[in-house]
Amino acid sequence: ALDLEEGARADLPGGIFSGGKLPIALVADEALEFLRAVDHLFGVRPLVYGGQALHWWLSQTHPNLADDFREFPLWLASYSHEPLMPVDRRGNAFPWREWTIWQHTSGAQVKGITGDVDSNLFRGDAAALAEFCARSKVC
């Protein structure tokens, strides 16, 4: 997975990383190059990990870049009771229509692990997970 959660509205439009020194278009180009290289070189379809800032960044500032990301499954970070898919100005989920994996908390407790851990849900049943793993070669 490629983690693109860094960035917030305060960083835009100059860039999405600390100090706002990287243009958004450059980050998008580099991210897509990495995602496609992993897919091509390793035969593994990587996921894109991100939350509302990523959706906001793509839908509000560079919608022309959004379609290129759609080919990769979304690992949605949304710490809420329901997965909140951010929407564009027209009310459309953007660029993804649905999430594949939902990280719903960073405060889960797991026996044998000290401290909080992230907890995720896959969209679908065991058969859908097996199909996703076979198709994407992620698992």
Question: Which range, of 5-14, 30-39, 97-106, averages the lowest pLDDT?
Answer: 5-14
Question: What is the helix (H) or strand (E) element at residue 55, kind and residue range?
Answer: helix 52-56
Region for residue 82 given its phi and psi (left: phi exceeds 0; alpha: psi -120 to 50; beta: otherwise) = beta
Long-range CB contacts (< 8 A, 24+ apart) of 126-129?
Answer: none
Higher pLDDT: 69 or 138? It is 69
Task: Kindly report whether the global pTM for this prediction surpasses the value 0.85.
Answer: no
The mean pLDDT value of the chain amounts to 81
Query: What tokens were used for 137?
Result: 């070669």
Cβ contact 88:59 at 8 Å = yes
Provide the pLDDT for residue 11.
46
pLDDT digits (tens, 9 = 90+) for 87-128: 666 666 667 878 999 999 999 999 999 999 999 999 999 999
Higher pLDDT: 38 or 18? It is 38
Q: What 3-state DSSP class applies to 78?
A: coil
Q: Work out the burial of residue 33: count CB atoms within 10 Å of its CB; fewer than 13 is exposed, 13-18 middle, 19 or more buried.
A: exposed
- The type of residue at 66 is A
